[in-house]
Every structure is written in structure tokens, then in C-alpha cells.
Structure 1
Amino acid sequence: MTKNTGAPKEYHGPAGGWGSLIGLGKVALAARANPAATETLLRQNKAEGHMCTSCAWAKPAHPHPFEFCENGAKATLWDLTTDRAAADFFAEYSLAELRSWPDYELERVGRLTQPMRYDAPIDRYVPVSWDEAFRGIAAELKALDPKSVTFYTSGKAALEASYLYALFARMYGNNNLPDSSNMCHETTSVGLKKVIGSPVGTCTLEDLHHCDAIFYFGQNPGTNSPRILHPLQEAVRRGCKIIVFNPLREKGLIEFTNPQEPVQMTVGSPTDLADMYLQVRPGGDIAALMGLCKHVLARDAAARAAGEREIVDRLFIEQHCHGFDEFAQQAEETGWDEIESNSGLLRADLEAAAEVYIQAENVMGIYGMGLTQHVHGSQSIGMLVNLLLLGGNIGRQGAGITPIRGHSNVQGQRTVGITEKTKLAPMQKYRELFDFKPPQEDGHTTVEFLEALLDGSNKGFVGLGGNLARAVPDHPRVHEKWRDMALTVNIATKLNRTHLMPGKSAYLLPCLVRAEEDLQRSGPQTVTIEDSFSHIYGSIGKRRPADVHLKSELAIVAGIAKATLPAHPKWKWDEWTADYGKVRDLIAETFPDEFHDMNDRMNQPGGFYRGNAAHERMWKTDSGKAEFTAPSVMNACGVGDAPDHFHLVTLRSNDQFNTTIYGHDDRLRGLKGSRMIVLMSPADMARQGLKEGDDVTLVCDTGDDERRAVSGLTVTPYRLPDGCLAGYFPELNPLVPLWYHDKLSKTPAAKGVPVRIEV
């Protein structure tokens, strides 16, 4: 029995406002957080407080009284739950039983409290001492070929632990150091570096106070980084125009009520944010950006012919750019029919958006994974850089390019050595400081790790945080092989699905959260993190740890390393654990230009800026200049249109941070309840003969021989472009083939998966 199609689902309130406070309250009740968590939130993202473990947005020098957002507060409350996943819980349930539990219920069990070892005959985790765990892990690592072991890290580990983790992996004998960036913004690290010489964004927080226009692509700030809404609101109020390109109309870019402003919360009206909101087709950003550039160049040609002021900044292009003529010719030759069909947008709308660019003195480009997670995502980034370069909008105040990072320190981990690429690692400094020869072969990315897992050559896995098995593509094939590994080690705060796939030998090691006091021999310890703007901040936890048995991430890494590696006078694992300041001294010695005087600077308001060459218009590219690039395709998806063929966009909900599910309310989209849904436009529903509530199966339609399908999805009407479907990550990850990724970075292409519908 089906329901009527009805109107598309929609949330009728603004982002922020009372809805945000109510949503936060619901999660607080579900988390059963320690009452002292309120005090912790008041110190969050401030000097002498802890830095949020959610997104990587900046921590301002002059913070608001409540310098946290809904998502960041949820993360902290979730960490500070009073529930515990202790030894008695694991004695009660086998792993086979726990694998039937939903992700949400696994997390709700509470904080892990003591180190555990997997006992295969009884299919349970059993408690062990830390010394037993370190010795057992070391014995397994020594028995394995170092090249067969992967050292993965999520984005939460601080700079100190990340530095030692990378050092340990290389002392052990490999560069197999993928991290969560491989799953999301590695396209930025590779694609952006290719065209401007910087693997990270060029802007600072100050630039948002001086921009005249923001072109915003593929990101949902209302859910994923709500603190950005404050500077966006301020920018709009002083006249900045925001032009949005995204398949879904996200409330966080439409209207915002600031919870920090009592008047707006009570009698005021929401702030309208987007001046234009263009629902581009999945992967259609390349064509949309080509349309913008085509109009800018046409208007410039007309102005020059009429003897008027030039629109294109030719002096900047002559001094700083390479490849302009080839790109300009391609823009001229690309027809508007091709642009419209690939972008799903009208020429008139693209020309109107381009006029905003033309009239603006300073333009910023902001983007998220909607731009990067495509087969040709690197070309999408290149096109956004093309647009900015036309007006000289990189390397001056109020202008530049800004990726929005999803993990609080994922950028910083790369900065201090977490990389599989030897050319990006400080190999010579390792030799000088630690008297060993680092391995010279590149390691593998996350996709390459999974390929090695499937062919049986990867034998060991050490995970510093995260829930990688749940986050990756191609679940059925990957999960079948995960348990074949000889060793799996997971350093974690709460139980998740990856922990339920133990190798033949497996350990689950509980660690502190960032808000908890980290007390070592020299006293309470501070850690440091890096934000999306390349600023470094000190972070110190004050909460009493959830259990006396917990160790910090750094102490666990050092403990495994000390047990595994031979003794060496320069490898001072105990000293580094006792005083993190000594690790920061090592970071400063390893990266002196960026981290000099790190211990003295880490607590200054607003953090210290480690610098960015492209920000200063120094281009570390092959040509020595910023590169205009001519795209080879007009749509970033890897497979084109076919009859009854759709492109699927995977999403996070409002009650979600990556694979962590806080609840089942996707408030800002007007959705709640089951996560097993597929969003679809009413027009496409009618064409397919579907009604709201129908049960369907999505089948991957990339054309290979492997059948990948997810069944039991409920059709839900939503305002989407024709041919676009949307549904939740990670539930729909089985539809993404492992080989379907960005060509340069191997980032899974989860924002434009070709699928068909089966009833």
C-alpha cells in the first residue's frame, strides 16, 4: 500500500534559532552527559579550554560567550556521557550479536573503559592489562612484514600524537599512513596543490570580513560546520553577496537565526543568506563554473572593445599565471547548450551569478565535499581556481579559496607527517633527529589499503580513531575480507562497527577524549590542533577522565612503539609521553619555518599562523605560477546519462558527524525517523511511476560486472534536480565501487554515484 506523492519534504524554520537549541537538548538527554559538561562547553574553543573535536572551523581571537555550535556541542556531550562500555558488557554480548545492532545503539553503550583483547573461541572481547596489550601487539607486529601493515588515523588525533604516530610507522618500516583526508578532502590536497602549489586553502578568518562576494559550492554549513554561519551572517549584513551551487537546498545557506543574539531569537527575523541558490546537477559544477568564466570573459572582451575598464585582471595574470590563453579559448568554444545540459542550470542564471562576480572587488570561493567527491573532482577544483584567477582573487585580503574541512585536525595531521607520499614527509629531518633510515617507497592511500586487503596482501591494521570499515565504499566486499587480517588494533573512545570485525588477533584500546584532563608525569598536558585556515591552537582538557584505566592517544602510540621497536638512545618514548612539550620541540625542529617557538606561541589568542605560500602569491607549482586548467569533461561524474539512470548524492544528517549517529532527526531537511530513505524529485517519481512511501532498491549502474545494491529504501519526495537522488552515508556506501574515485587523489566519488531504481 502506498501513500500519495504529496509535497517535497521541507523544514520551515531557519538554521540556528530555537530549533538548534531543541535539537541539542534532545541529544544531551540521549547522551546522558555528565552535568559538568555545561562548564566544559563554556570553555570550548577558547583560551585555556579544549578545541572542539567536530569540524575544523577557526577559533577566533575574540570568542563569543558561547563559542560552540549545535554540532560541536553534540560531539562534546556525546564524549562526556555517563554510560560505560565496561568488561561486564563485553562478557554479556558476543561480537556476532553486536553486529546486528544499529550504529546508533552501539555508540550509546557508552565510553570504553579498559584495554580489551579479542578471544576468538568465545567471540568476545576480554580485558587485559596495558602491558599485556602492548606486548601482544608488538609480538604480532614483529611477526609481520612491515609493508603489510597499515597505520590509519582519523582526523581527531592532535599534532603531538600524529607526529609520533607517523614517526613510529616509519621506524617500523613503512609509509602506509592513510588518514580520513583520503576519504573526503584528499582531492583538495592533490588538486589544489597542482594548480596553486598549496595543498590547503589560502584564506584566513580575517578574509571573511573583507570579501564582497562568496561563491559557495557543495557544502552544508547548517549541519556540518554551523559556526561558519556567524561570519556569513556578518558578511551579508555589510553587503556581501553569497551565490550557492548545490544539488540540495540546504537551510544553512538560505536563512539563519543567530542563537547568540537575543533580539533575533525573540522578535527579530532570520537573516537571508544566499543572494542566489542554484541547484546544480551532481558533478555539474565544472559546467556551471565554465558558464561563469565564459560570461566574465565575454563581458571583458566587450569592455575592452568599447575602451572601458577591463574586467579580467590581466596584470595579475601576466605576472602570476600560466595557461590563460588555452583556457580562454576553451571557454569561448564551449557552447551554452553543453553548459546548460551538464550543469542543469539556465544560461540566464549563470550570467546573473557571473555579474555578481564582475561587480565584486574581492571574491572568496568556499567549497565542501560536494565539489571534491567525484571522479573528476580535481578538475572541479581547477575550475573554481580558474574563476578566482580571472579577477586576481587569490593572494589578497578578502579573496581566496577555502575548503571546509570535516575533522578538527585532519589538515594538521598531514602537516606533521601523516602522509603516504615520501616526497611530502620530512625524511631528511628524521635521519638527523632520530638516526634511522626511513623507508623510501610510497605507502598506500585508503583505497590502496582496501585493494591490498581484498587481494590478501595487507595483514595488519592499526587505527588511531575513526570507524573506517563503516566509512569506506564497497561494504560487502571489504567487510568480507576485514577479518582475514592477522592483526587489528583500534584506539577508540566508544564502540563502533569496525571494532566488531576483529582480525585473527585483535585489540581494542580506550583513550581519553580531548575534553578530559591528560595527566602525565610532568603534570597536565596541552595538545595542539590546526584549523582549516592553517592556524595552530593549544587545547587542554579539564574534565575528570571517564575511567582511571584510560590513556591518551599519545601514550598509547608511544606504548606500542616502545614495545615493538628496539631500544635507541634517541627514541625517547617515555620522555615524550611524560612531557608533550618535548614532542612540540621535535615538531619545531622538524618544521622550523612553520612551527618555530611552538611551545611559546600555541596559546596566543586566535592561534598562530603557520603560513601559506599561495596566500603570499608564491606559487609552488611546476611552472612557478598559478595554473589555469582546461577541463577534459563538463561533468565531474565518471559515468554519463542513460535511460532510467540517476546520480546519487550521499549525505550526513543533522544528528550525525561522519559515521557517528546522535539520533534520527534530520531537522534542517524536514526529515526524521528511518535513515533508510531515498530522496527524489516529485517529477522523477512520477516518471518512474513511484509514490511516497514506496519501497525500492538502488542498484549501482557503473557498468561493471559486480552487482551492488541496497534494498529497503523508502521513496521520499524532495526538491532535487532532475536525475538526482540523495540518501544517507554510510548506509548507501555499498553502492560505491572501490574503483569509482577521483582520478588524481583516489577519493571515493560518493557525491555522484550512477544508480538505477528497482521496485
Structure 2
Amino acid sequence: MHTPSSARYRPYTHASGGWGSARSVMNILWREQALAQGPLALYRQNKPGGFACVSCAWAKPGHTHPLEFCENGAKATAWELTTHRADAAFFAQHRLSELRSWPDQALEQQGRLTEPLRYDATSDRYLPVSWNEAYAVVGAKLKALKPASTVFYASGRASLEASFMYQLFARAYGHNNLPDSSNMCHESTSVGLQESIGVPVGTVTLEDFAQADCLFFFGQNVGSNSPRLLHPVQEARRRGVPVITFNPLRERGLERFVNPQSPLEMVGPQSTVVSTQYHQVAIGGDLAAMVGIAKALLALDDQTSAGGQPSVLDQAFIAQHTHGVVEFIAAVRRWEWAELEQRAGLSRAAMEAAAAVYARSERVIFLYGMGLTQHRHGVETVQMLVNLLLLRGNIGKPGAGICPVRGHSNVQGQRTVGITEDPAKVPGERIAELFNINVPEHKGLATVDACAGLLDGSVKAFISLGGNFLRAIPDTSRMEPAWANLALNVQVATKLNRSHLVTCADNWLLPCLGHTETDLQEGVAQAYSTEDSTGCIHGWNSQARPASEQLRSEVAIIAGLAQATLAPNPKLDWDAWRRDARLIRQAIAATYPDTFHDMEQRMWQPGGFRRPLPAAERRWNTEPGKALFITPKALSEDNDVNPGRERRDVLQLMTIRSNDQFNTTIYGYDDRFRGVKGTRKVVLMHRNDIARLGLEPLGWVTLRTAVETEVRREVGPLQILAYDIPEGCCAGYYPECNPLVPLWHHAERSKVPAAKSVPVTFERATPGPDDVSIQLPVAGQVA
């Protein structure tokens, strides 16, 4: 087990990408002993005929670069191709009571799981079992339970084929309890965009970036979370396209970039300036900032109208394609600049500067991440972004549109093929006709609902298709004890994580193939498919040798569990689907013909094929048949506590990810771009807040949630790092800070945990014997 022995802080002054990324890739290939298969796999990654990245869902281009992967994508591949093994010998040496004391990174660092396992309470160990035994026992237990008491969770990594089978399995079994990782990130997008423009996803493709003349970023750390996106951004900057960024932290990937695939850039001193304007909006201040931009646009329009010049607003588009603009404009005019400045944490001049560039740009793309969606009013914030685009007709034309940057590799695609708790979003009649399955009428459990069911005891079984559910969800300290009330816990996974170690009455660990590994069925290598975050569907092949002969594909595991659980159905041949993934794609095409017709051929075309997106063609599947201006009811994205007015001792916490992690997977303890090395036990604060609260830089504190204080929610000890973050705000790492997020503290209507704005207080603390103190390279500390 590895834990850091030293920690330091030194502000990072280099560009993102460059030699820092190259060294990081080589280091993890060496550490995982993946130098044999790793380089060849990376060369095939995200390319036609190769495999889809197991990391983020950013678009795969039709015309690829020589190396079509980023630093984090390479880490994910090396992490999967590791030669380390968590096999039967490992579990024979370690009890679960011991493993629960290990940090998350150390658990996954043990390597790939190699055989199916069942927990033995007497020895407190996982013991090997056969696949047949696993299927038979789990199937019998599911038969004995009420379907409504079971949950089938999907992490977002599974292929379209596996996802389609999984949702059919759930519905044939008798429920719509299909929570997924989208419930924890972009569900606010799915709800907000569906209401505003009639589609639940973004409207742009990679081709639009080549035609855009302005880009806006909101709440997205592109350098760490989706670095391949920096390629089209860099190309846009070379054309002189302005990039305007709103983000509380100054993220290095949105400041400067060196393309690691360019020899000239790697050897030269130059780097690309990414953001031409960088506005450090307060946490939860994006909505007010957007209203400020709209207010400034209206003022500019008033000026041009008075001078007899063309309107700043696209009046023809608004008249033909939108509804509700009169009410929206009236509301924007009513809000005062003083309140907008206070809520946004920005000056009027800053918002007017952004509006001025927007007003003279003809084709604009708005990109955003979970910095917008993970708030109490995340849905309204997404819809306010749409309002800004509608004012100037920037949806449904080349080079313009809205671009939510998704996380996990197929989190968007699994929704397209039916992973949803809402039966209204699947073609129930067609499923009944094709597969003799009656889709249950009642809405199922989303992630927050499933957690509530765990707490009240109504959820009795949990099946997880990938992921680290217990680390990813909010209110962790309350959720882990509730896990013991389950009758059945089945985890399909590639590596060991925390969710596998919190035990209940019956625990199973079923190891699956990774994206990089060949699924050989009767001598034939199977191909699979995914959907990227621009709505394009791609086929992919894997060539790597499986980590163990006992590994099964996710498709095979789902088929085995379904056969053991369900009554025979002549219209559902699970075993045939296991043997031939082409049959699954035929079933997908029959179920969703408008999207997946001729799927077998089209998924191999360069760049994939795009799903139908009516809004991209200015066709609006909304009730009035037009795009809707939806007026926000208030300026605050999070109104549980009003720091600075009601509570001077409260700061707003946002959870963040380092550039050495992906979702809950921690590759290492360094956050290179933020200058933090060897530790994750830090809280980033403004120097003025540190002094005002009577604390000291590098002092240790415990963070406590400032609402519902009768429930004790705390994280610590954490070391204070004076940092460039807006006053009244602080930041700490995810998932370590998840215990601070109450289960009820989620976005209204979408139920996305509001982890980007949690009111917290501070109490001095003493570091433990294993806590490593940060060392500064020189006296003092840069803030």
C-alpha cells in the first residue's frame, strides 16, 4: 500500500499539456508496468478500428491526430492495462476490515480483479467462486425479492450494447429503478435543455468549432477533465477567435496550452493563450453573471435602436423560433446592477466586457460543465445559458450552439438506449412488441431516490454495472452504515474500490473485461459502440489481451444474470446476444429505428454517425413548437444560506477534481496544475477569509456543513492553502468532501447533488499521525 510521505505546494507556472503531460503519461505506464501493451493501445485509442477511451466522452474526430488521446485518457488506459493483479492470493492475505482502512488510491493500485468472488463473513475475506455459482445464487436471490426493492445502477462506462441489455433486464424483471451517473452530473442538462429547446443534449459537433467566431466557457476545467477539447480550442485561437471564461478558479488549461503532439511547440518557448477574458465568478454566481450579460446586451440594443443601427438581438430568429421573450426581457431589465455584481462576484464592467464581445460575434458556442449543473438551481442556470444563445440566434446554425461537456465515456449513450428511471422516455409499446416485456408504468428510482431507499430500508438489493457508488454519492457518512441493511450487493467491476468493501448480508464481486481487452466469443472478436458528448455514435474494437482468462464481458455478465433470474422468453435470447453483439445492435435498431437504423454499417464511418437532434436544425420538440425563453425566478443558484449577509462565518465550498484523477478513480496524489503535490487533504481559501476567520495558512481545520446542523457532517483534518479563489468561497477535493453534501441538497427537478456550492464552517483541528504537512519551497505563500 502506498501513501505519500511528503507534500508541497508550488504554484504551477507552465502551460497545460506540454512536457508535463508527456512525463505524466510515461510515469503511469511505468508504474502500472504497462509498457508492453500500453503504447500500442494508446496509438489505437479513439481511432477508427481502435477502441473508445474508457475516460471522458469528448468527441472522436473523423480525421484523427497521430495520437488521439489526452493525459487522462492515457492514464485510464494504463490503469486498465496494468500488470498488477488483485487475485485470490491478494484476498487471502487481506481481510476486508483491513482493506477498509486503505485509501482509495491504494485499493485500485492493487490492479485488476481476476475471478468472481463472494464475501465470506466468517473469514472476513472475498473467496473465489465459479461463474455458474454466481449467476445461480444471485438469480435465486433476485427471484425471492420484490422487484421494486432492487436497484440496477449504471456508471456510464458500459457500451451501448451492454446498456441496452441492462435496461431490458431491469424492465423484464419488473422495475424502472435504473439510476446512473448522469443523475449525479448532467441531469440538470437533460431536464433544462429538454424544456428549453426540445432535446436533452447539446447541439454542436466538432465541425462547428471550425466555424465559430467566439467561445464561452462556464464551470468547466477542460485541462483536467477533457483535454482533447483543447485541440479545437487551440485551432480557434489561432484564427483569432476570442475565448471568454467564467470559473471561480483560474484553471491552467483555460489559461495557456502547449500541444503535446506538436514537435515545434514541445521544443519551442511558445504556448497558446486560451482565454482572452477570464472572469473569476463567485461560486453560485454564474446565473447572475449571465443575467448581467443579458442586461448589457439589452443596453447595447437600446443604443443601436436609438441610433437607427441594426439590432444587437436577432429579432427575426426570436420572432420565428422562440416563445416568452417579452417576459424574459422585462425580468432582466428589473434586476439591478448592484445585486448582479454582489451575486456574481464580478464588476458590472466585467459583465459588459463579455457582452460586448458576444454582441459583435456571429457564431458562438457556449460550453459548460458541472460548475453549472451541480447547484440547487442548476436547471435554471442551464436554461439561462440557453436564453443568452436565443437572444442572438446562436442555436441551429453552423458554428453555434450549446455544448455540455459530459464526463464518463458513454454516460450520454446509455440514456439514448434506455438507461433511465422514467418509463415515459423509452418506447414501451415497441419494447412490448419486440421482446414481450411490459415496461412498468411507475417511475423508478434515480440516484438520490435510491440513496433515500437505502436509508429507510426499502431498497434491499443493489446491482452495480461499474462505478464506485458509495464514493460518488453525497452524504457518505450516513450512506455507508445504511449499506449493511442490503440483502444483496452485486458489483461488476475491473478493479477494487470502496463500494466493494462495505458489506451487507450477501456480497458478490464480478470482474469484467475493460474497453481495451478483446471479447472473444467462439473465436470471433466482438465489436461494441458508444455515443460521445456531441451525439455521435462510434463503433470500436479492442485488441489487448484480457487480464485473466476468467474475465467476462459486461454483455456476458448481464446475459448470465438475466438467464438465471428471468423466466424463459422466446423473444429474448440472452445467450445469442452474448455470442454475437451484432444481434444486440439489430435489436437496438429495431427499438430506436429513427436513431439507429443501419447501425452496423454507419457506426464505422469516420467520426461516427450523429443521432437526430431537431434543435440543431431549428425544429423544436417543445409544447409550443418553439424554443422557450425561461425566466429564472431568482438570481441565487444556492439559497440554503446567504454567506456574507446572514452568516459571516460560512463559506461556500465547491468540490473539485485534480488532474491526477478521473471521477472517483485517484491515479495519484499530485494536482500538477494547481501546484499541490503529495496530498489531497487540503482546502483552498482566499487569504482574506483565512485572516477574517482567525485561521492561519497551512493550519489544519475540520469542515462542517452549515445547514441541518442537528446531523453531524464533517470532513477533516484538512490543511489550509491560501489560493486564488473568490472571497467567500473555498474548494476541496471530490470524493473526499462528499460527506459534507446532504442528500436533500440537490438541484430542484433534476436531483443532481449540489456539490458545487455547500455552505461550510471551520473549526481548528490537529493533524493525525498519518497526515502529511505541506512544505513550501520558499518563505511565504502565494495567494
Q: Flag whether TM exceeds 0.5 (same fold).
A: yes
Corresponding residue of 1:709: 714
Corresponding residue of 1:149: 150
Does 2:509 match 1:508? Answer: yes
Corresponding residue of 2:780: none
CA distance in 2: counterparts of 1:16 and 1:34, whole angstroms? 21
The offset of 1:686, in angstroms, is 1.7
The one-character-per-residue Cα deviations of 1:383-437 (angstroms, maximum 9, x if unpaired) are 1111100000001000000000011100000000000001101211110101132
CA distance in 1: counterparts of 2:723 and 2:749, whole angstroms? 33
CA distance in 1: counterparts of 2:709 and 2:59, whole angstroms? 43
The offset of 1:10, in angstroms, is 2.4
Corresponding residue of 1:165: 166
Corresponding residue of 2:474: 473
The offset of 1:30, in angstroms, is 2.4
Residues 675 and 728 in structure 1, CA contact (< 8 A), matched pair in contact too:
yes
CA distance in 2: counterparts of 1:48 and 1:638, whole angstroms? 49
1:650-689 equivalence runs, <5 A:
650-689=655-694
The one-character-per-residue Cα deviations of 1:506-555 (angstroms, maximum 9, x if unpaired) are 11000000110110136100000000110000111101100000000000
AA matched with 1:43 = R
Does 2:557 match 1:560? Answer: no
The TM-score normalised by the length of structure 2 is: 0.95
Corresponding residue of 1:367: 368
AA matched with 1:296 = L
1:474-623 equivalence runs, <5 A:
474-521=475-522, 523-623=524-624
The offset of 1:483, in angstroms, is 1.9
CA distance in 2: counterparts of 1:596 and 1:711, whole angstroms? 53
Corresponding residue of 2:346: 345
1:385-534 equivalence runs, <5 A:
385-521=386-522, 523-534=524-535
The one-character-per-residue Cα deviations of 1:282-310 (angstroms, maximum 9, x if unpaired) are 11001000000001011112211211111
The offset of 1:191, in angstroms, is 1.2
Does 2:110 match 1:109? Answer: yes
The offset of 1:702, in angstroms, is 2.0
The offset of 1:704, in angstroms, is 4.7
CA distance in 2: counterparts of 1:229 and 1:694, whole angstroms? 36
1:20-169 equivalence runs, <5 A:
20-169=21-170
Corresponding residue of 1:178: 179
Residues 512 and 552 in structure 1, CA contact (< 8 A), matched pair in contact too:
yes
AA matched with 2:363 = N
The offset of 1:92, in angstroms, is 1.3
CA distance in 1: counterparts of 2:103 and 2:30, whole angstroms? 19
CA distance in 2: counterparts of 1:100 and 1:32, whole angstroms? 26
Corresponding residue of 1:235: 236
Residues 200 and 403 in structure 1, CA contact (< 8 A), matched pair in contact too:
yes
Residues 538 and 609 in structure 2, CA contact (< 8 A), matched pair in contact too:
yes
CA distance in 2: counterparts of 1:453 and 1:704, whole angstroms? 22
Does 2:751 match 1:746? Answer: yes
SS in 2 for 1:742: coil
Structure 1's unaligned 5+ residue stretches are 1-6
Q: How many residues align?
A: 753
The one-character-per-residue Cα deviations of 1:223-278 (angstroms, maximum 9, x if unpaired) are 11000011000001101111000000000000000111111111241100101000
Q: Quick check: 607-616 or 731-740, which moved more?
A: 607-616
CA distance in 2: counterparts of 1:726 and 1:8, whole angstroms? 15
CA distance in 1: counterparts of 2:9 and 2:338, whole angstroms? 29
The one-character-per-residue Cα deviations of 1:311-341 (angstroms, maximum 9, x if unpaired) are 1011111111111001101111110000000
Does 2:193 match 1:192? Answer: yes
CA distance in 1: counterparts of 2:374 and 2:311, whole angstroms? 35
The offset of 1:68, in angstroms, is 0.5
Corresponding residue of 2:635: 634
Residues 9 and 677 in structure 2, CA contact (< 8 A), matched pair in contact too:
no
Does 2:698 match 1:697? Answer: no
Residues 8 and 718 in structure 1, CA contact (< 8 A), matched pair in contact too:
no
Corresponding residue of 2:732: 727
Q: Quick check: 174-183 or 87-96, which moved more?
A: 87-96
The offset of 1:29, in angstroms, is 2.5
AA matched with 2:727 = D
CA distance in 2: counterparts of 1:740 and 1:125, whole angstroms? 35
SS in 2 for 1:665: coil
Corresponding residue of 2:326: 325
SS in 1 for 2:122: helix
The offset of 1:638, in angstroms, is 3.0
The offset of 1:216, in angstroms, is 0.5
Residues 522 and 578 in structure 1, CA contact (< 8 A), matched pair in contact too:
no
Structure 2's unaligned 5+ residue stretches are 1-7, 765-783
SS in 2 for 1:413: helix
The offset of 1:623, in angstroms, is 2.2
Q: Hey, which bits of structure 1, 4+ residues long, moved more than 3 A?
A: none
CA distance in 2: counterparts of 1:492 and 1:8, whole angstroms? 35
The offset of 1:166, in angstroms, is 0.1
The TM-score normalised by the length of structure 1 is: 0.98
Corresponding residue of 1:10: 11
Residues 9 and 717 in structure 1, CA contact (< 8 A), matched pair in contact too:
no
The offset of 1:502, in angstroms, is 2.5
SS in 2 for 1:716: strand
CA distance in 1: counterparts of 2:709 and 2:763, whole angstroms? 17
The offset of 1:8, in angstroms, is 8.9
The offset of 1:376, in angstroms, is 0.4
SS in 2 for 1:122: coil
Corresponding residue of 1:314: 315
AA matched with 2:747 = D
CA distance in 1: counterparts of 2:749 and 2:276, whole angstroms? 33
1:191-340 equivalence runs, <5 A:
191-340=192-341
CA distance in 2: counterparts of 1:57 and 1:150, whole angstroms? 29
Corresponding residue of 1:4: none
Residues 511 and 551 in structure 1, CA contact (< 8 A), matched pair in contact too:
yes
The one-character-per-residue Cα deviations of 1:670-723 (angstroms, maximum 9, x if unpaired) are 111111110001121121222221010111012452121112100011100010
The one-character-per-residue Cα deviations of 1:166-217 (angstroms, maximum 9, x if unpaired) are 0000000000001000011111111111111110001111111111111110
CA distance in 1: counterparts of 2:9 and 2:729, whole angstroms? 14
AA matched with 1:388 = L
The offset of 1:110, in angstroms, is 0.6
1:520 to 1:426, Cα distance in 2 relative to 1, 3 A: same
CA distance in 2: counterparts of 1:644 and 1:226, whole angstroms? 37
The offset of 1:565, in angstroms, is 0.5
CA distance in 2: counterparts of 1:283 and 1:537, whole angstroms? 36
Q: Quick check: 544-553 or 26-35, which moved more?
A: 26-35
AA matched with 1:715 = I
CA distance in 2: counterparts of 1:10 and 1:268, whole angstroms? 19
CA distance in 2: counterparts of 1:405 and 1:121, whole angstroms? 43
The offset of 1:622, in angstroms, is 2.2
CA distance in 2: counterparts of 1:9 and 1:443, whole angstroms? 48
AA matched with 1:253 = L
The offset of 1:128, in angstroms, is 0.5
CA distance in 1: counterparts of 2:11 and 2:428, whole angstroms? 52
SS in 2 for 1:121: coil
The offset of 1:621, in angstroms, is 1.6
Residues 151 and 176 in structure 1, CA contact (< 8 A), matched pair in contact too:
yes
The offset of 1:9, in angstroms, is 5.4
CA distance in 1: counterparts of 2:356 and 2:544, whole angstroms? 52
CA distance in 2: counterparts of 1:158 and 1:436, whole angstroms? 22
